[in-house]
Every structure is written in C-alpha cells, then in structure tokens.
Amino acid sequence: MILAQSQILQCYNNFEVNEMKPITKKILQDTIRIRPTQSFKGTYGKIALIGGNQNFGGAIIMSSLGAVYAGVGLTTTITDSSNQSSLHNWVPEAMYLDYHDEPAVKALIANMDVINIGSGLGTDEKSLSLLKTVFASVSPTQILVVDGSAIDLIASNNLSLPKTKLIFTPHQMEWQKLSGVKIKDQNENTNLAAYNNLFKQQGSIVVVKSHRTQVLTPTGSFVNTVGTPAQATGGMGDTLAGIIGGFVAQFENTENAVLAAVYTHSAIADELAKKQYVVLPHQISEALPQFMKKNEA
Amino acid sequence: MILAQSQILQCYNNFEVNEMKPITKKILQDTIRIRPTQSFKGTYGKIALIGGNQNFGGAIIMSSLGAVYAGVGLTTTITDSSNQSSLHNWVPEAMYLDYHDEPAVKALIANMDVINIGSGLGTDEKSLSLLKTVFASVSPTQILVVDGSAIDLIASNNLSLPKTKLIFTPHQMEWQKLSGVKIKDQNENTNLAAYNNLFKQQGSIVVVKSHRTQVLTPTGSFVNTVGTPAQATGGMGDTLAGIIGGFVAQFENTENAVLAAVYTHSAIADELAKKQYVVLPHQISEALPQFMKKNEA
Amino acid sequence: MILAQSQILQCYNNFEVNEMKPITKKILQDTIRIRPTQSFKGTYGKIALIGGNQNFGGAIIMSSLGAVYAGVGLTTTITDSSNQSSLHNWVPEAMYLDYHDEPAVKALIANMDVINIGSGLGTDEKSLSLLKTVFASVSPTQILVVDGSAIDLIASNNLSLPKTKLIFTPHQMEWQKLSGVKIKDQNENTNLAAYNNLFKQQGSIVVVKSHRTQVLTPTGSFVNTVGTPAQATGGMGDTLAGIIGGFVAQFENTENAVLAAVYTHSAIADELAKKQYVVLPHQISEALPQFMKKNEA
Amino acid sequence: MILAQSQILQCYNNFEVNEMKPITKKILQDTIRIRPTQSFKGTYGKIALIGGNQNFGGAIIMSSLGAVYAGVGLTTTITDSSNQSSLHNWVPEAMYLDYHDEPAVKALIANMDVINIGSGLGTDEKSLSLLKTVFASVSPTQILVVDGSAIDLIASNNLSLPKTKLIFTPHQMEWQKLSGVKIKDQNENTNLAAYNNLFKQQGSIVVVKSHRTQVLTPTGSFVNTVGTPAQATGGMGDTLAGIIGGFVAQFENTENAVLAAVYTHSAIADELAKKQYVVLPHQISEALPQFMKKNEA
C-alpha cells in the first residue's frame, strides 16, 4: 500500500499541477444547515470514538468533546477503563464502553453512522487488535475517521484498508508514514500525487495537518485559509478529529463536512487567539455551539 | 398490562376526541412558588435517583444535576460505584449509594418523597433486580418517576406496577414498548387512548417525549408549546427526568409540577438555542436557578 | 453530659433573659483584616478537615472548598480514598490523606492550627474511632470545629469532650441530640440555657443552624440577620463548617471569626438569591474571595 | 555540597555588595515573543513534570496546569496512578505516565526539552529513587526545574547534582536546607553569597520564593517588584514551577524566561487580588493565555 520513495518521485515528475482551492467561510454556509423542527437524536447521527489508553486518556476526551459540542445526536466513547471517570467529568453526554470488551465493541459499532479511531489509542498489541476488529467490522455505508496512532499502526503493519468511506487526519510525520513522502518533501504537489496514487480510487479523504492544513479529496486539493500558531499545542489534532466526526455524522455531503470542520476548528482558534497567547484544544470545542449558530444557513 | 395492537385500534375507534391543552408559560406561575422564609431542607423534599451502570454513568449524573439545580432539599444518587467520583465532580451536593447494596437501597428509599429510576440503568439482570426491589418497596405516599431503561424493563418483563403515584417519561420507542402503539401510529389521539386504557385509572402521568412532547394526566392531554431541534442530543431525557423529580419533590400539585418541568426544560433550551447550534443537557440544568427565579410567583 | 428534659425546663425557668445581639455587616469590618504585605502561607493558618465516607464524599469536598476559598494558608483533607480524585477536581489546592491511616492522621493533626471533623463523616465504627483519635490528640492551643455526624457520635456515645477550643455547628436535630432540647422547644432562650449549662464553662461556641441561625458564645447570644430560603439545600451546613474553619484559622478573635463566617455564608447566599431560586453550596464558596475583598478593613 | 554555617558567615564577610536588579514589566517584552506563523507543537517544546504522590496530587496538577496554559507544545505528567483521573479533569491536554514505571520514565524524559521534578513528590524511598533516576538520565542540553520535595531530598541525602541546566525554586525553608543559610539570616546578600559559592559555577538559576522573590543567576541578583499577600496559599509554588517550566520550554533565553515567569505569576495575582481576598493558584494559570497575549512583543 505504501509507495516507495522512487515511486513518489516518479509521480511528482508526472502529475498535472492542480490549483489548490482555498477553504473559506463559504464552506460553512454550504454545510451547516438550520436544523429541521421535526427531528430527533437519530437525525444527527450516532458516533463511536475509540482511543485513549492509560497514557493518552486526554486525547479521546478532547476528541469526544469535539463530537458532542458539534451537535452529534448520540456519542459513545470506547476507551480504557481508567478514563471512564474523567470522560464523564468533561462530557456526561457521552456513553462509555471499555475498549477491552471487543465483542461489545463489535456489537456497538455495527449500529454507528460514524466511527473515529486513533486519538490516544497507542501502538501496542491491544491497539492493533482493536484497529483490526474495527476494520473487520465496518460496513460500506459507515464513515471511518482514522486519526493519530491508528495511522501509525496502519503504516507499520501495512494493514489493508476496509471498504468503507475513510477519512484520514495525519500530521506531517504520520502522513510520511502513511504515504511514504518525507516531511521535507511534503508540499501541495507531492501530497496530491501520493493521494491520487493511494487514496483517490476508494474515495477517501485525507486531512494533512500543518500550519496551513491541506485536504485531499476525490474532487481536488483544498488548503485552509485560517489558523494560528496559538494552536500549536498537544490535543489540537484530537479535537479536530472529533469535530470532523461530529460534522460528517450530521451533514450529508461528507466532503463539505470535512472541509467545514477543518475551517471551523481554525476559525474558532483565530477568534480566541485575538485575546490568548495559546488556545487550549478544549476551548475550541466549548466554543462550537456559538460558532455554528452564527454560521448556520 | 400491555394492550394488543387490535385492542389499541379498538380504542382508537371508540375514544372521544379531547382537545389537547397547550402547556404555556402560565404553568410556571401556577407552580413555582416563592419560598417561605421559615423553611429548611426537608421543606423541599428528599429524592433518590437510581441508575447509571458502568456504561451510562453520564445519564444519572445529568439526571441528578437536574434535580439538585431545580432546588430539591436532599438528593441521593444510587448508582454503580464507578460513577461515584464523576457524580461528585458535577454535584457534590448529591449523596451517593452503591446500587449493588440492595438492603441499603431499600432502607434509603423508605425515607424518600420521590424516587427516580431508569436513567442509564441498563437492562441486565442487575437492573431488573433493582427495579423489582424499588417496586416492592415504594409506598402509596411516594412518587415514582420511571425513565429510560426502567420502561424497557417493565415492558419486556411485563412487570406489575406498584400502587404509588407513577410518572413515566418514555421517548417514542419506549412508549411503543410500554403502550403497544407503534411509533408510526403514535399521535395525540392514539396516545391518549392508550393512556386512558392503561394508566388513567391509577392516576399515573405519562410524558411522551418528542419534538412536541405530550403529557397525559388524569385531567387530560397536554402538549408542549416550546422546544427546539437544538435539544436533539443524548442526555436530554435524563435531564428532564431529573427536573421532573426535582419539581414534584418541591411543589404540591404533582400534575402541575410535571407540566411546569416539561415547559421549563424546553423553554431554557429555546433561550440557549438563540445563541447555540446545539444545547448540551447539562447547560439546561445549570440555567435552572436563574430561570426559576424569574418565573416564581 | 446531656441534660435531662426536666433539667432543661428548670434552666428555662431560672435563667435571666439576655437580649440576642444581631449579627450584622459590622462584624466583617471587625474581623476580615487587610493582609499584611510581609506574610506567607503560615500566616494564614493550617487546617485539616476530616470527613467524607464513601457515601458522603461531597460533604467534605464542599467543606474543604469553603476553607480554601476563605483563604486559609494550608489545607489537608482527610477522607475516604474513594474521594481523593473528586476532592482534587474541586480543590487541587487541598492536600489529601486517607482517613484509614490513623497513625498518619494523628501525626498530621498535631501540626494543625484548626481541625474540622464531621462533614459527611458517617456514624459507623470507623467514624467513631476517628473521632476518638482526634479527641485524644488535640491540644489546648488548637481549635476544633465539630460538625454533622461528629455531633451525632458525641451524643449517641456520650463522649467526653477534649480540653481545647471547641466550635459546634449543629442543625436543629443535632442540637437536640447534643443539648437534650427538643426541636419543638428550641428557641433563643432554651438554647441559651442549655448552652450556659453545658458549653459556656469551657468557652465553647455553638452555632445552632436554622433559617435564622443562633450563635452562642461565652460573651452572649447572637442571631444572624441575613439568610434566605434559597439556602435550604443539602451541603449548605458542610460549606458553613468549612468557612468557619477558614476564618478561625486566619483571624485572631475566634468568636468574631465565627460570627463573621456565619454572616458571610448567608450574606453571599442573599446576594446570589436575587437571581437564583436555589443557591448551590459550592457557589457560596466560589464567591468568597470577592465578598471578602469587598468587606476587608 | 552544603556549606557549614561558619563558611556562610565567612562568605557574608567577604562578598562584594551587588545591587539587586528589579524584575519589571520590561522582562515580558524581552521574553514573550510573538509566535512565528510557520510553527508546530515541537516549536514550543516538550516538558515532563514529575511529582504528585498519593497525598499531594493537587500539586502536580497545578504545576501541569501552569505549563500547559503557558503554551508549552507537549506536556506529559508523571505521577502516581491515583492522580490520573483528576489530572485529566484539569488538563486533558497533558499526557500521563505512572511514576512507578521507571523504565518508561527514563525512556520518556530522554526526549524532553524540560523536566520539572518535585511538586508534591514527597520524600519517601520511591521519591528518592525517581529523583536519582532523573539525575542519572538528564543530558547537558536539557533543562531541569527542581521544586518542592526534590529540594528536600537533595539536601537530606546530600545528592550530587547532574551536569545540566538547573533551576531551583525553593521557598525559604527549602533554601535553608539547600544552602545552609538559616531563614532568619536570609537576605539578599547572604542569599547571593551562598548562590555564588554553590550554584554560580554550573550556571544554575535559583528562585528563592518569599513575599518579594529573589532570583539568583550567573549574571546577577534580581528581585521581584510585584506580588501580593493574597498569594499566600498552598499550591502557589507548584504553579510557579509549572509556569517556569512552560516559559523555559518556549523561550530561548533561559534566564529571561525564568525572570519573566516569576514576574508573570505575581503580576497576574496582583491583578486578580484587586477583586479577591485570596487568589487561588489555579486561577493564575487559567489567566496566563490572556496575560501573555497582552504582553507579547
């Protein structure tokens, strides 16, 4: 699945230059719909978020916070039991499942619209086993958001990807592992070339996170126009993964939902950064309901 | 206890059409009394809330939050021990009891004015056992609020109901299980017919939750006039159950208390939804003291 | 130690009527001093708060919150280990000690200026053992605040009181147990008579909590002039005990400190109750730093 | 390592009087740089904070809060497992490691830019073992902040210091243990003399905390010009240690970073103390992002 460095360079030489499309405020109006009066929890989707081992519980908490505050209908967080209490302290709205109970995990995810895996998951045997369980369980009608350690695990174990709608959210090192493009060689063109070779056919979406995040989709290459260095702090990516999950669970056009989530995450940070030297990830999630209200259409 | 579908249809053909009475702001002035100067904790009632297994701890936390912020005098939350810490993080004002200690549960509920059961209770053997214990223990002078999984358990085990003041808070699927009226057939008339056949005689109250919640009481059928799709998120019903418990514990007219709780829950959400795309259940509870103050009479 | 009912009535007939002195805002200016520039943690005292069994962890948390937000220099909370995490969630500023480790408890309290015992302590063998340990350990120069279950334990076990500065904070039922005066017979005169017979000689202070709290001291009988029925909710007394502990640890005149704490607790509640139907105990503690600043002199 | 009292007195007689340089607002403009647009988490450093035994978990939480809210890129808190949940309740942004897993601790700190040790660490065998592990592991390019119990342990075990950039943050009693200068003899001159003899050669920085904190560095002796008695409460020092760690992880000039952290910590307290009788340590951390934004240059 992973291109050799020589293959990447060949792509780079051959590909046709595509202009990057800017992700602007307009994506919000195209995506965040005014909620219909006659609706219920099921209207806004069901999401399961899987991650958070004993060391990285904060990651899955922040991701869950993003999904819940984005407005998803029902949220279940599947994590190590040592994170149960702190999860409920932040989001009592999320249900909990111990990720060691794989039969229950399998049964639960069968009923989900969206599954997020990877925030704080870790890369040990347990993590790999969970990832394989998820890959073996998801159906083509579900959306699978793959973040953090899950990307590492795919690359290091050369895992085959399941036949479902996939959204990857790598930072630059994870993208290197996933695509074979080294960080120093990563740019809009090499990223697009690798995407076209590896992910386009299945219709996957890749969010390559950096100070100007690039989103690669079957319809083209997009670049975020907002964002601030005040966001450069641990947990920012976990929060983004949660918001993406929350948006794709609610909004019909998945590509637009991802683009809108990427824009929203950074636009809120920009707003907060006017008065803050650093923006804490959980503050972005807590600001979601107000931001989305202002930008619904 | 459960009507067959044919019986329901028969009811539907026979019943007399009753106009639904709107639940409006007036119910607040009829219910939320200015507190008398000479009063103490006991004046405002004692409530026990039972629920929250290892998976659904957030549900009983949100329900407890609703009761405490509604102003009940003394609150005890009876739940799985894994929820003790997160309960106290949200409401140190609530006392805690491990729901596995059934003798202690039995002793405690004997002294309560109101008992809530079902928020996040689950439907396993343990849950059923607890529910049976409560049904066997409550006295005619107590009020029992039956929510969530407890409704499922009643329906699936065809349990006989105890001779006490009962308040049911089913969502549409739970109402289907409890009444036999399928969701697609549920409307103000079929709901009333089923209520009249099954619950009216004992004087029970049923709150059928939907985007326009219907309340069925011995004096008639009421429909909520407020509420927003921003409320369509997990935990909203648990919060309502807690507020209902808190209101019936404090206010003498139980029917009015339920109607006022249903109105309050949605009216606060409407207010918050002016600035929020989604309203988190815990935010409604936290807004209760201010809302009730504005509407006391 | 406890008077028989006949003895009480005899007192009632014999005693000289003392006018109750009102506790007014003036007590704040007499008590809350502007902090000296050259000071350090030790200047503001060391307090240990003992209580909070597995069921009543919230009580000792609320009490600790009161002490810390009142400005005490160093706080240690001695409680059941199941409360460690929720304690730190509310007040990371408090240190923790497992109350099962009695040798450590004994060693720690030897270094304290003030010891609070009783909030959420419970009345089982463990609680009694802890109370006896404290009674056996305190020295005449320390102040001991006795609240909640500790008062029950003293009465039901007819414990001898230690020779130290004692402050009791009973509600009316606890006062009945402690003094022998039945609730229906409690009034400013019977309370004072019982106080004079039982507690005056040792110089103890008794705070009889009700909708108009009475404070009995060697210099007379005082009645609170503020307070609201919005305070009638569980945890209010635990919070008061913590504030009293925090005040006597900081302010030299112990009697004034108790009176000022009683006034402060209710005055904050009055302020909050202008906009809230119910005032949550933890909100009073959180408002302490601002209130005290406005009233320092 | 520790001077005898006679040696101190000799120093005192011989030393050349240096004027203390005031730490003023100017240090902020010299230190807190506007963040470069092209940056990522790594740009702002990686810190590990080690401390928090079963009794003092709040200390390491407050220290971690200081580092994260100061804007450090990646934070890991190494503490007793009983603090995992409360840590994540305050700062989900921090990763967690059980401090009993010394091989993992060793591996993790190898990748850190800054290591803080001592806040709430305690002084038992376990604490000593951890401190020795850290001393044996740190490299000359890392910065080590030594706080609280770690200073006690160094003094009482006469430990040799590692060859790395060291920052000590003793309060007056800890400084007595570390330097041999008794509290009653501590003043700007004796402190400087002891510093020059014991710490200057290696280039260490010492922050002697008091109501007017003194900072001793290879370039001279500095005195804080801000600070308030409202800060005299437990946890204040732990918070300062965390902020120092967060500043030295981000800002290139280590000496300036320490001075700016000391100033920032007290300047925020001064601001809060205008409206608060006591300033809670966690409130200072929470105010960092706004304060730093106003003072970046």
Specify the CATH number for the domain of residue C231. 3.40.1190.20
- Answer whether A278 sits within 8 Å of D69, measured CB to CB: yes
User: How many H-runs (helices) and E-runs (strands) does chain C carry?
Assistant: 12, 10
Measured between CB atoms, does C74 come within 8 Å of chain D? yes
Q: What's the rounded mean pLDDT across residues C4-20?
A: 54
Q: Are A270 and A227 in contact (CB under 8 A)?
A: yes
CA distances from D294 to D31, D261, D288 (A): 13, 15, 10
Chain B positions touching A65 (Cβ under 8 A) are none
Q: Quick one: pLDDT band at residue B169, thresholds 50, 70, 90?
A: very high
| Burial class of residue C159 in the structure, from the number of CB atoms within 10 Å of its CB (0-12 exposed, 13-18 middle, 19+ buried) | middle
Q: Are D257 and D237 in contact (CB under 8 A)?
A: no
Which pLDDT score is estimated for C10?
Answer: 52
**Shortest CA gap D252–chain C (Å):** 31
Measure the CA–CA gap between B100 and B54, rounded to whole angstroms.
12
Measure the CA–CA gap between C41 and B47, rounded to whole angstroms.
41
Q: What's the rounded mean pLDDT across residues D260-275?
A: 98
Chain D positions touching A234 (Cβ under 8 A) are 41, 73-75, 93-95
Which pLDDT score is estimated for C11?
Answer: 47
ipTM of the complex as predicted: 0.93
Check whether C2 has a pLDDT greater than 70. Answer: no
Closest chain A residue to D34, measured at CA: A277
Measured between CB atoms, does A84 come within 8 Å of chain B? yes
* Percentage of chain B lying above the pLDDT 70 cut: 94
Check whether C209 has a pLDDT greater than 60. Answer: yes
Which pLDDT score is estimated for D12?
Answer: 45
- Answer whether B211 sits within 8 Å of A69, measured CB to CB: no
**Shortest CA gap D91–chain C (Å):** 11
Q: Which of C39, C73, C85 faces D234 most closely, judged by CB atoms?
A: C73
**Shortest CA gap B229–chain A (Å):** 6
The pair of structure tokens assigned to B105 is 């549960």
Measure the CA–CA gap between B204 and B179, rounded to whole angstroms.
13
Could you give the 3-state DSSP secondary structure of residue C217?
A: strand
- Answer whether B35 sits within 8 Å of C229, measured CB to CB: yes
List, edge to edge, every strand of the sheet that includes C220-224: C21-23, C220-224, C214-217, C205-208, C165-169, C143-147, C114-117, C46-50, C74-79, C95-98
Which pLDDT score is estimated for C19?
Answer: 79
Q: Is A33 annotated as a binding residue?
A: no
- Answer whether C276 sits within 8 Å of B296, measured CB to CB: no
Torsion, CA A133, CA A136, CA A139, CA A140, rounded to 10? 130
Torsion, CA D38, CA D39, CA D40, CA D44, rounded to 10? -170
Return the DSSP state at C147: E
* pLDDT digits 0-9 by tens, A224-240: 999 999 999 999 999 99
Q: Quick one: pLDDT band at residue A5, thresholds 50, 70, 90?
A: low
Measured between CB atoms, does A48 come within 8 Å of chain B? no
Q: Quick one: pLDDT band at residue A4, thresholds 50, 70, 90?
A: low
- Answer whether C71 sits within 8 Å of D233, measured CB to CB: yes
- Answer whether D92 sits within 8 Å of A234, measured CB to CB: no
Q: Is A265 annotated as a binding residue?
A: no
Q: Quick one: pLDDT band at residue B15, thresholds 50, 70, 90?
A: very low
Measure the CA–CA gap between A178 and A168, rounded to whole angstroms.
10
* pLDDT digits 0-9 by tens, B197-210: 999 999 999 999 99
Q: Are D86 and C85 in contact (CB under 8 A)?
A: yes
- Answer whether B70 sits within 8 Å of C281, measured CB to CB: no
Three-state SS string over D238-272 comes to: HHHHHHHHHHHHHCCCHHHHHHHHHHHHHHHHHHH
* pLDDT digits 0-9 by tens, A239-289: 999 999 999 999 999 999 999 999 999 999 999 999 999 999 999 999 999
Which pLDDT score is estimated for A19?
Answer: 79
Three-state SS string over chain B comes to: CCCCHHHHHHHHHHCCCCCCEEECCHHHHHHCCCCCCCCCHHHHCEEEEECCCCCCHHHHHHHHHHHHHHCCCEEEEEECHHHHHHHHHHCCCCEEEECCCHHHHHHHHCCCCEEEECCCCCCCHHHHHHHHHHHHHCCCCCEEEEECHHHHHHHHHCCCCCCCEEEEECEHHHHHHHHCCCHHHCCHHHHHHHHHHHCCCCCCEEEEECCCCEEEECCEEEEECCCCHHHCCCCHHHHHHHHHHHHHHHCCCHHHHHHHHHHHHHHHHHHHHCCCCCCCHHHHHHHHHHHHHHCCC
A136-141 LR contacts (CB < 8 Å, sep 24+): A136/A162, A137/A106, A137/A109, A137/A110, A138/A109, A138/A162, A138/A164, A139/A110, A139/A164, A140/A164, A140/A165
- Answer whether C85 sits within 8 Å of D86, measured CB to CB: yes
* pLDDT digits 0-9 by tens, D96-146: 999 999 999 999 999 999 999 999 999 999 999 999 999 999 999 999 999
Q: Which of D35, D92, D293 faces A275 most closely, judged by CB atoms?
A: D293
What is the domain count for chain A?
1
* pLDDT digits 0-9 by tens, C167-185: 999 999 999 999 999 999 9
Measure the CA–CA gap between D60 and D53, rounded to whole angstroms.
9
Chain D positions touching C289 (Cβ under 8 A) are 275-280
Q: Residue window 240-269, chain B: list those with CB within 8 Å of chain A.
A: none
* pLDDT digits 0-9 by tens, C96-131: 999 999 999 999 999 999 999 999 999 999 999 999
Residue linked to tokens 């004034």: C256
* pLDDT digits 0-9 by tens, A70-89: 999 999 999 999 999 999 99
Average pLDDT along chain B: 94
Q: Are C54 and C82 in contact (CB under 8 A)?
A: yes
Which pLDDT score is estimated for D10?
Answer: 52
Could you tell me the end-to-end alpha-carbon distance of chain D, in angstroms, rounded to an integer? 40
Closest chain A residue to B85, measured at CA: A85
Measure the CA–CA gap between C170 and C155, rounded to whole angstroms.
11
Question: Which backbone phi and psi does C99 adopt, to 5 degrees?
Answer: -75, -5
- Answer whether B88 sits within 8 Å of C61, measured CB to CB: yes
Measure the CA–CA gap between D230 and D275, rounded to whole angstroms.
10
Which pLDDT score is estimated for B18?
Answer: 56
Q: Within a 13 Å sphere around the CA of D192, how many CA atoms are in the beta-carbon half?
A: 20
Q: Quick one: pLDDT band at residue D19, thresholds 50, 70, 90?
A: confident
- Answer whether C86 sits within 8 Å of B85, measured CB to CB: yes
The pair of structure tokens assigned to A71 is 């407005």
What is the domain extent for residue B237? 5-294
Chain B positions touching C55 (Cβ under 8 A) are 95-97
Q: Quick one: pLDDT band at residue D18, thresholds 50, 70, 90?
A: low
